[in-house]
Chains A and B, each alone.
Chain A
Amino acid sequence: MSVPQYRKAAAFALAAGLGFSLVACSTKSSDDSGTDASGKVTITVDCQPVGAQKELLANWNADVAEFEKQNPDISIKSVSVGEQCNNPPDFTARLAGGTMTDVFYGYMTDLQQVLDSGQAADITSAVSKDTIPTWDSVDPALKEVFTDEGKLYAIPVKNYSMGLVYNKALFKKAGLDAENPPKTWAEVRSAAKKIAGLGGGVAGFSEYSAGNTGGWHFTAEIYSQGGKVLSEDGKKAAFNDAAGKQVLQNLKDMRYGDNSMGSRQLLQWGDLLTNAGAGKVGMFIGAPDATQAIVSQFQGKYEDWAMGPMPGQDGAAKGTLGGGEGYFFKKGLSEAQVKAGLKWIAYQKLTPGKGQLDYVRAKPQNYPVGLPQPLLFSNGSEAQKQELDLRKANANVDTANFKVFEDNPVAIVGEPRNAQAIYAVLDSAMSGVLTNPNANIDSLLKTAEEKVNQLQAAGS
């Protein structure tokens, strides 16, 4: 090879290397229609259970196989995105990058963010009894949460409201009445003191203060006081009042007055549940499905856990936090893909006796049947009746453990707009009272108020 040719070859090799690299990565985004030559529709769906949740994963995979058998023209590709299907920063990154699956999981509070990103499809016209047979029975309040300016953007698949989760075994050990959980914060405090008195690093009452979960629970607790997080118009913080102060005061009293909350703080979701699974937590605020996580992910036991209603300051709670999950549809899907996605959700999430509501299959598994939630169908509907009957007939947890919770319903209040950002701010107020014996509640709330006001002003 002569000299100039060598040079050309070198230049070509470099250019080709780069060119090739770009071609190689561009192949990813090329197949968008989702329909292959044989007319088969393919959709990707996230929130497949992770490997650790062996039975849930097996159930999911069986559901996919069965669904594909019933719908030979649809192919489901499942994607697992981690133990928590929606970890806010990852979720934001996926939205910003447009790398969500075709049908993607989100919290009820995510609607605004999803709309802001411009990534969600309006599915109003696609949803009907044809695609989701039980659609008319689905609680209208849940549909409303995923509706913006009259347009529906997601299908609700789960809902919850919070109460007081407590460890019966520890209650008995501490000489407390395990059938009669505390109903006010004062009762919580005295029970926590007794449980912490057992020693061995047991926390009577445990609370979050990091990773946005602290703010989430602050919200639940201020609702129990009858307070709120944002003003009616959603533009200003509304938690710097007597109710907000009471929430922090209660925690401070337990943490430093009685030393009944354990020494480990700055907990986030998994940290608290790890401790709970190890039998080191007497009580915490949570939804019924927290017990499921304790058992299936954190090595705890069902028979230990029971639930009471959200405690109130004097008497019953004035409100509790409720929320839930749904599936959004990515913008730009073909009509066939949206239809396929709806059918899949209908099958796996909203059909009594199938998918997540297949209680016969779940009964022998290490997965609870008989929890009081979710309650996806409206009162008196046929679907609700079917589902509750099945749930009762196949219960594998002692439903009596949740009776006090069910018998004392508390008004459910939704999460504030821009929830995750607000929770991040409130974390710092929570960590303040839980880690600093000299914390000044007034100034903690004032700082948080300033931050939230600024956040809301910037966000609107």
Chain B
Amino acid sequence: MAIMTAPGTATKPAPAPPRTVSKKGRKVRDNLTGHAFLLGAVFCFALFMWFPMIRGIVMSFQRTRRGETTWVGWDNYSRIIADPSFWTAWKNTFLFTALALVVGYVLPFFVAILLNELRHAKGYLRILVYLPVMLPPASALFLFKYYAYDPSEAGLFNAILKALHLPTSEWMQSPTMTIPAMVIASTWMNLGSAVLIYLASLQNIPGELYEAAELDGAGVWRRIWNVTIPQTRLILALLAMLQIVATMQLFIEPLILANGAGTQDSATSVAYLIYQHGFFQNDLNGAAALGVIMLVVLAAFSAVYVRLTTKQD
């Protein structure tokens, strides 16, 4: 994957730096300089990534009460798993991730292809698509909560549906609509950035490929399938990965749209459950255990993912 290339150069593994002086002292000094440059980033990684990682695992086997910390074995895990919301939260999270993958991942790709073909109003359309990204997430979600998803007929969506003589919905109040409604809001909010990234990669597809395909008699869909997708495959794969990791962390949508758990837990996500245990139920250790479980699930998932993508090569 050729992410970022300097102007006028091709990506290639850099040759080893010339080692003109081979004195030992010089080498030590060079290393020290190298590490000095690394220091700031390594410090931050150590403090906010590597150390918390270990600490999270340690915490998940401890319990702190009245300032005293004791080892409790697997207690936190069994407590978290016994929570009736545990499986619901996973179910909701997976459903959201899957739906968001279908809608929120495929849609921007086709929007980008469409925008790339249009010869007029280019700037205007790009700005439009990117506008929701500019809103603070809380603002965008309040817009949906108060106006679009109002369950009465005074709501924007219901008014439109009614005008079109379609059945109206109770949106966030309907257990079956809760997750689709969160996917719609989240897609609207985030579509713009994915479209821009796709647009960038579409512009790097050599025109001759389309030319050749057309000469072979390939129609528009065939050309998308045979040229566009293979040419953007790496960026598609990368965004799929990022999208899944991002949607698995579903949090602000349930918090704002559904006031947390939604109707009968229909909006509860794993991330919300972590927050609920850690900061409502005063159970940071249980929340840490749930974090570790989430980590294991994601690690398993990415192992499968890496397996699948490397096989294709």
Contact at B263–A424, with CB atoms within 8 Å? no
Give the chain A neighbours of B275 by CB distance below 8 A: 89
Give the chain B neighbours of A320 by CB distance below 8 A: none
Contact at A116–B282, with CB atoms within 8 Å? yes
| CB of B276 within 8 Å of the partner chain | yes
Give the chain A neighbours of B174 by CB distance below 8 A: 435
Within A2-30, the residues touching B (CB, 8 Å) are 4, 7, 10-11, 14-15, 17-18
| CB of B154 within 8 Å of the partner chain | yes
Say whether, besides A264-B152, A266-B262, A116 and B33 are in contact (CB < 8 Å). Answer: no
| CB of A61 within 8 Å of the partner chain | no
| CB of A92 within 8 Å of the partner chain | yes
Q: How far is the CA of A436 from the CA of B262 in the complex (A)?
A: 12
| CB of B200 within 8 Å of the partner chain | no
Question: Which of B77-85, B89-97, B212-220 has 4 or more CB atoms under 8 Å from chain A?
Answer: B77-85
Question: Which of B1-9, B128-136, B253-261, B293-301 has 4 or more CB atoms under 8 Å from chain A?
Answer: B253-261
Interface size of A by Cβ–Cβ distance < 8 Å? Answer: 49
Say whether, besides A116-B66, A451-B83, A88 and B36 are in contact (CB < 8 Å). Answer: no
The residue of chain A having its C-beta at the shortest distance from the C-beta of B35 within the complex is: A11
Give the chain B neighbours of A265 by CB distance below 8 A: 151, 173, 263
Say whether, besides A7-B36, A96-B284, A201-B152, A454 and B83 are in contact (CB < 8 Å). Answer: yes
Interface size of B by Cβ–Cβ distance < 8 Å? Answer: 43
| CB of A52 within 8 Å of the partner chain | no
Contact at A10–B37, with CB atoms within 8 Å? yes
Contact at B37–A211, with CB atoms within 8 Å? no
Contact at A424–B276, with CB atoms within 8 Å? yes
Give the chain B neighbours of A436 by CB distance below 8 A: 175, 263-264
Q: How far is the CA of A92 from the CA of B284 in the complex (A)?
A: 10
Residues 409-451 of A, flagged 1 when their CB comes within 8 A of B and 0 if not, give 0000000000011001001100110111001000010010011
- With both chains docked as a complex, state the minimum distance between the C-beta of A134 and any C-beta of chain B, in angstroms: 32
Q: How far is the CA of A435 from the CA of B258 in the complex (A)?
A: 12
Contact at A15–B263, with CB atoms within 8 Å? no
Contact at A7–B29, with CB atoms within 8 Å? yes
Contact at A89–B36, with CB atoms within 8 Å? no
Q: How far is the CA of A15 from the CA of B40 in the complex (A)?
A: 8
Say whether, besides A11-B32, A118-B67, A451-B85, A431 and B280 are in contact (CB < 8 Å). Answer: no
- With both chains docked as a complex, state the minimum distance between the C-beta of B134 and any C-beta of chain A, in angstroms: 26
Within A94-115, the residues touching B (CB, 8 Å) are 95-96, 113, 115
Give the chain B neighbours of A92 by CB distance below 8 A: 278-280, 282
Contact at B173–A266, with CB atoms within 8 Å? yes
Give the chain A neighbours of B279 by CB distance below 8 A: 88-89, 92-93, 96
Give the chain A neighbours of B83 by CB distance below 8 A: 451, 454
| CB of B58 within 8 Å of the partner chain | no
- With both chains docked as a complex, state the minimum distance between the C-beta of B36 and any C-beta of chain A, in angstroms: 4
Residues 13-29 of B, flagged 1 when their CB comes within 8 A of A and 0 if not, give 00000000000000001
Give the chain B neighbours of A432 by CB distance below 8 A: 263-264
Which single member of A14, A209, A458, A459 contacts B36 (CB below 8 Å)?
Answer: A14
Q: How far is the CA of A133 from the CA of B294 in the complex (A)?
A: 55
Contact at B65–A116, with CB atoms within 8 Å? yes
Contact at B170–A210, with CB atoms within 8 Å? no
Which single member of B170, B261, B278, B283 contacts A427 (CB below 8 Å)?
Answer: B261
Contact at B151–A431, with CB atoms within 8 Å? no
Q: How far is the CA of A263 from the CA of B152 in the complex (A)?
A: 6
Give the chain B neighbours of A113 by CB distance below 8 A: 282
The residue of chain A having its C-beta at the shortest distance from the C-beta of B68 within the complex is: A118
Contact at B276–A17, with CB atoms within 8 Å? no
Which single member of A263, A266, A455 contacts B281 (CB below 8 Å)?
Answer: A455
Give the chain A neighbours of B82 by CB distance below 8 A: 454
Q: List 30 A-B contacts (CB under 8 A).
A: A7-B29, A10-B33, A11-B32, A11-B36, A14-B40, A15-B36, A17-B40, A89-B279, A96-B279, A96-B284, A113-B282, A118-B67, A201-B152, A210-B259, A262-B152, A265-B173, A266-B172, A266-B259, A424-B260, A424-B276, A428-B261, A428-B264, A431-B262, A432-B263, A432-B264, A435-B175, A436-B175, A439-B264, A447-B84, A451-B84
Given contacts A7-B32, A450-B84, 8 further A-B contacts (CB under 8 A): A10-B36, A88-B279, A89-B275, A210-B259, A266-B259, A266-B262, A424-B276, A435-B264
